[in-house]
Amino acid sequence: MDKKTIISIFLIVIGVTGLVLWSKSVDTKELDAREARKSSLVIEEKLSLSEKLYDFGSISMKNGNVSTVFTVTNISDKDVKIPSLYTSCMCTQAYVLKQDGTKKGPYGMPGHGGVVPKVNEILRPREALQIEVVYDPNAHGPAGVGLIERAVILEDENKNMVEFIFRASVTP
């Protein structure tokens, strides 16, 4: 065989191997997503959300930060311990608004800007907790225009998660 044939066969083998490995990683990600949804269902039997998705619509970078508030209610007959609250991106901050008027936070993305503090709240039966979500459309600079979707994740003591999702169409 000549050199060109050997190189062609080698490149084809590498390409096929790459496709096989890539397809396995996609399958793993789908399984991880299914497991996360199952985990989310466990905590949702205890916690009720005022809404799971909020759409800011069109927002302008020049107008600065936007915010919304989600309410979480313990619908079970037992206390729910909530140690963690964090965001999916450094452009988003979350705050716990307590019933006494105090504000705890900010809670951000793990690994960005230091350690994300613990919430360490106990939600008693029928008690509600408000989570304020603040999105900074300027955090990604000029490249941050277009459709965005971010999440704020609340975890209970067993690492079960509930996600608050928000969307926006960012303009300059």
| 168 Cβ contact list (under 8 Å, min separation 6) | 55, 56, 57, 58, 59, 66, 135, 137, 147, 148
pLDDT digits (tens, 9 = 90+) for 7-63: 888 778 887 776 666 665 544 544 555 555 444 444 557 888 888 999 999 999 999
* Lowest-pLDDT choice from 9-23, 124-138, 142-156: 9-23
* Position 150 in a domain: yes
Taking only Cα atoms into account, the Rg of the chain, rounded to an integer number of angstroms, comes to: 21
For residue 154, give the CATH number of its domain.
2.60.40.10
Alpha-helical regions (H) of 2-136: 3-44
Q: How many domains does the chain have?
A: 1
Tell which phi-psi region holds residue 100, choosing left (phi > 0), alpha (psi between -120 and 50) or beta. Answer: alpha
Q: Residue 89: which domain range?
A: 45-171
